Amino acid sequence: MTAPTAHTRKPEPLDFDQPRVSIAKPEYRFDMQGEMPEAERVERAMKSFVKDFGRTAAIYMESCIHCGMCAEACHFYEVTKDPKYTPIWKLEPFKQAYKREYGPFAVVYRALNLKQKVTVEQLQQWQQLIYDSCTVCGRCSLICPMGIDIAALVSQARHGMYNAGLIPHELWAVTERARLEGSPLGATPKVFKDRIEWLADDHEVEIPVDAADADVMCAMSSIEIMKYPDSVVATARIMNHLGLSWTFRLDGYEATNFGLLSGNSAAQKQLTMKLIDAAVACGAKTVILPECGHAYTALRWMGANMYGEPLPFRVLHIAEFLAEQVREGKLRLKKVAKSATFHDPCQVVRRGGAIEAPREVLKALGVELREMYPSKGTAWCCGGGGGVVANHRADDLRYKTFRIKMEQVEQTGAELPVTTCANCRQTFDDGQAHFKWDRKMHSLLELVADNLLGDDQ
Amino acid sequence: MSLLDFARGPALQWSVFVFIVGVLWRLFGVLLLRSKKDLSEPRNRAAWKGLRLIALRSWPRREFLEGTAFGEVMGYAFHVGFLVTLFFFAPHVVFFADVARGLIGTDLRGLIGVGWPTLPNGIITLLAAVSVAALLALLVHRLVNPVKRLISNFDDYFSWFVTIAPLVTGLLAFSHLAGWPYERLLAWHLLSVELLLVWFPFGKLMHAFTIFAARGTTGMIFERRGASL
């Protein structure tokens, strides 16, 4: 089979019968995209990797002492003890290219051929390490004695891999779907509009769409729209309960950003700009992001840099927004007389900084919070972040890492596992089905919506 | 020119020259690169407070202690032994004072009235021996641990060699062992130090400088976001 070119294929079918949303398992994998000579692939990979190089990445590249401690923080190494999953090893071809092409002594390395040129075979081999066995969770970045943010470097390496046409089939296919249909997972504007109408009708809740002016603009993740529509209803109920001037916008409603996950910077920017433009169009003072980890990174921490200037509105993760409302006494909740444990989504908590917000909301719900160990900054990832859960090739490995979470949840003995990321949630659902586990992950957002005090709905 | 004269003269001057120029080249080659301004709204405006990561990351979080204890303990053992020997062994202090007088016409005692402290030879010998033992343990670990063996390259082994060599030659010279004349042992000790100086800018020994930049950078980025340090 030859690799497909960008314009020869129809959108690949999605599979909604599985507990996780992705394209259907491909009969043939195309993990190399486009037609180009091998040398050009390498050239493209390295150029775009190097293009992103600024002071920060260069400092990191100069600082590794090969102590190997990062392996101890990685869930893929933890469950396999295979040294190839050592986080810094996942960057080896890029370290090699940095020394040879970009570092302060690059001319010496090249002249004496002290570092070999990176090959396509090498990059193909590393594709699985960069995409299948890294959720960009950043736990390794907390253990590195040199302080290297290894996860940030992996994201940068993904830019190189995307430009070389060397990303996993599924990530390529969903990005293609976004190009051809306007949504990576089938949540096109028409589908979203139909769903909104159906949900509003079915749940007897008002869901404003395309308001010309609104103080708050909400966005959802594709996973929620397609798999957890109750989250859409929950968002509407809470906004209405608070009496806010708010809206969804059909020109910017989907916060999922496969551009970020795949390394496609242009797509990342395009998807981010949709949200920004929609928020600007309705004069929103606040944009509330859904229960989605990487969507938070994409807009909260990278949005302004894509926009080219500070954003003219606040960006809050829904858990931060809820915590703020609780703090200000605007959101009062019924007490849930149960014990709960909270799974920390890596991009929201460890790397995003919203560490206490979800816990404040849980406190307001009156649950008995039983923390896992470790939790918060050093919490174990669910194993499905960074696009891994969408990648069929990574399934077996992902299930192995999921055992860590099952054990952690079981150890707490809590009745309600709760999280605030739809991607973590579907990873839990998929793991639950795979292991026939009797625990169900809950959404913090939906838990709040189900327990609004004084709400008749 | 005897071997000792060579080691004390041109070899020392050239190695120090390579060390200084090399370190500056590598440091500025990185630090002068562009750094894009982060336009996102900071969670914490005082990002500089993240510089505390420089100190914080000197010991692992308790969640990580179990898996890193060997590397941490051995790492500290050899670093402390190496640095204390370097800066507090009486002959080294005399040497540095000589260098200072040669360069600026006076030494620390001349400047502030108090000389640089030294430690008794027995303590220095013990610490140097501990340092050598820790380095040997780390080498064995690098060879037998699958993770470290996989990620190691020439730099790791050569940097290990140029680090242990001055300790070993120093202990030999101090103990007058090996049946060699003291001058020859001293010359080899000096040459081993000079090898370290020459290699320093090119390999991972540079972490002695970059560690502050890397930890500080990450600390500030993470603090700005309120992320876990």
Same domain, A316 and A336: no
A22-23 and A246-247 beta bridge pairing: unpaired
Contact partners, residue A20, CB within 8 Å, separation at least 6: A384, A389, A390, A426, A427, A429, A430
Closest-CA residue in chain B for A93? B151
Residue A3 lies in a domain: no
Phi, psi of A289 (to 5 degrees): -90, 150
Q: Which of B35, B53, B61, B228 to mutate to test the interface with A (most CBs of A within 10 A)?
A: B228
The pLDDT > 90 percentage for chain A reads 82
Sign, Cα dihedral of B27, B28, B34, B37: positive
Å from A428 to nearest chain B CA? 23
Output the pLDDT for position A457.
43
Å from A197 to nearest chain B CA? 35
A2 band by pLDDT with thresholds 50, 70 and 90: very low
Q: What is the CATH number of the domain that holds A49?
A: 1.10.1060
What is d(CA A155, CA A60) in angstroms, rounded to the nearest whole number? 14
Closest-CA residue in chain A for B216? A147
* Helical ranges in chain B per DSSP H: 3-8, 10-31, 53-56, 62-88, 90-104, 108-112, 121-144, 146-151, 154-175, 182-199, 207-225
DSSP string of A205-257, one letter each residue = ----BS-SS-SEEE-B-HHHHHT-THHHHHHHHHHHHTT--EEB-TTS-B---
Residue A149 lies in a domain: yes
Task: Tell me whether residues A63 and B214 touch, CB distance under 8 A.
Answer: yes
What is d(CA A383, CA A379) in angstroms, rounded to the nearest whole number? 12
Instruction: Please determine, for residue A455, whether its predicted confidence score (pLDDT) is greater than 80.
Output: no
Instruction: Please determine, for residue A1, whether its predicted confidence score (pLDDT) is greater than 70.
Output: no
Same domain, A269 and A342: no
**Which pTM does this prediction carry?**
0.95
Same domain, A134 and A235: no
ipTM of the complex: 0.95
A15-24, A185-194, A232-241, A414-423, range with the lowest pLDDT: A15-24
Same domain, A132 and A197: no
Phi, psi of B153 (to 5 degrees): -140, -170
A48 band by pLDDT with thresholds 50, 70 and 90: confident
Q: Which residues pair with A333 in a beta bridge?
A: A452
**Total number of domains constituting chain A:** 3
Mean pLDDT of the region A12-28:
88
Contacting A residues, span 305-324, partner chain B, CB-CB under 8 Å: 305, 307-311, 314-315
Chain B residue numbers touching A84 (CB-CB < 8 A): 150
- pLDDT tens readout for residues A377-422: 999 999 999 999 999 999 999 999 999 999 999 999 999 999 999 9
Domain finish residue from A325, A346, A370: A325
Same domain, A193 and A148: no
Calculate the CA A208 to chain-centre distance: 27
Residue A396 lies in a domain: yes
Output the pLDDT for position B181.
87
Same domain, A304 and A344: no
What is d(CA A196, CA A90) in angstroms, rounded to the nearest whole number? 42
What is d(CA A285, CA A407) in angstroms, rounded to the nearest whole number? 42
Output the pLDDT for position A178.
83
Q: Which of A154, A18, A185 is nearest to A86 (CA)?
A: A154
What is d(CA A189, CA A182) in angstroms, rounded to the nearest whole number? 8
Residue A18 lies in a domain: no
Mean pLDDT of the region B11-20:
96
Same domain, A415 and A377: yes
Same domain, A313 and A361: no
Output the pLDDT for position A183.
87
Domain finish residue from A325, A357, A375: A325
| Of the partner residues B34, B204, B226, the one whose CB lies closest to the CB of residue A65 | B204
Instruction: Please tell me the total number of residues recorded for chain B in this structure.
Output: 229
Residue A457 lies in a domain: no
DSSP string of B35-63, one letter each residue = -PPP-SPPSSS-GGGGGGHHHHTTS--HH
Same domain, A340 and A255: no
Segment (H or E) for A289? strand A286-289
For chains A and B, CB pairs below 8 A equal 175
Sign, Cα dihedral of A310, A312, A317, A320: positive
- pLDDT tens readout for residues B102-127: 888 888 888 888 889 999 999 999 99
Same domain, A44 and A134: yes
A142 to chain B, any CB pair closer than 8 A? The answer is yes
| Of the partner residues A81, A83, A147, the one whose CB lies closest to the CB of residue B215 | A147
Residue A301 lies in a domain: yes
Same domain, A261 and A296: yes
The conformation of residue B205, written as its DSSP 8-state character, comes to G
- pLDDT tens readout for residues A113-150: 888 889 999 999 999 999 999 999 999 999 999 999 99
Mean pLDDT of the region B187-194:
97
Domain finish residue from A134, A166, A198: A166
Closest-CA residue in chain B for A303? B40
Mean pLDDT of the region B10-14:
96
Q: Which of A230, A342, A350, A224 is nearest to A289 (CA)?
A: A224
Å from B54 to nearest chain A CA? 8
Task: Tell me whether residues B228 and A89 touch, CB distance under 8 A.
Answer: no
Average pLDDT, chain A: 94
Do A317 and A289 touch, CB atoms closer than 8 A? Answer: yes
Output the pLDDT for position A55.
92
Instruction: Please determine, for residue B2, whether its predicted confidence score (pLDDT) is greater than 70.
Output: yes
| Residue range of the domain that includes A429 | 329-449
Output the pLDDT for position A16.
85
B125 to chain A, any CB pair closer than 8 A? The answer is no
Q: What is the CATH number of the domain that holds A348?
A: 3.40.50
Residue A124 lies in a domain: yes
Output the pLDDT for position A112.
87
Same domain, A401 and A298: no
In terms of Cβ atoms closer than 10 Å to its own Cβ (0-12, 13-18, 19+), residue A88 is buried
Sign, Cα dihedral of A6, A9, A11, A14: negative
Task: Tell me whether residues B227 and A352 touch, CB distance under 8 A.
Answer: yes
Å from B170 to nearest chain A CA? 25
Residue A314 lies in a domain: yes
Mean pLDDT of the region B22-50:
95
Chain B residue numbers touching A355 (CB-CB < 8 A): 226, 228
A180 band by pLDDT with thresholds 50, 70 and 90: confident
Å from B191 to nearest chain A CA? 24
Output the pLDDT for position A7.
46
- pLDDT tens readout for residues B167-181: 999 999 988 766 778
Closest-CA residue in chain B for A67? B148
Output the pLDDT for position A322.
98
